[in-house]
Amino acid sequence: MADDLEFPSCENCAAIGLYVAPMLRAMEAEIGVEETRAFLLAHGGRDYAIAARPPAQLPAALRPADAWLRAAKGPGRITLPLGPVARRARIAWTLYRVLAQGASLSGAAARCGCSLRTATGWRARLTRDGLLAPASAARTP
């Protein structure tokens, strides 16, 4: 259920109206979606120390993002936002995808592991922004 939440890219988040830090969008554009996602899953939402030289113990999957940060920001400390790996972003993206495929609101909420109120709020926002078709006013008996 909630573990089935899809991970959006930074561009996907921007497409559904979620703010993504420009730094994360630039990182994703240069090093790729998977590398950015792996780095944010490991270090997002916390302070990160950018070393002057690449740390030897850093896993290979995280090295491209570390090198990008070193080149873009230089050595020092930075607080990394969660961006597209945040639960809010994953719920919004999964709800968008499931509702766009025609799932019921309660089914979409169950799939995401969120309340019906949360799913209704996201559907209203996505509909208001023109990303989803308005719900039909016709009721079937």
pLDDT tens digit string along 30-48? 999 999 999 999 999 999 9
| pLDDT tens string 43-73 | 999 999 999 998 889 999 999 999 999 999 9
- What is the percentage of the chain residues whose pLDDT exceeds 70? 94
Phi, psi of 49, rounded to the nearest 5 degrees: -90, 115
> In which residue are the tokens 């926002």 written?
125
Q: Where are the domains of the chain?
A: 22-80, 87-128
Name the E strands within 14-109.
Answer: 47-50, 76-79
pLDDT of residue 2: 54
Asked if residue 140 has pLDDT above 70, the reply is: no
| pLDDT tens string 109-129 | 999 999 999 999 999 999 999
The rounded radius of gyration (Å) of the Cα atoms in the chain is 18
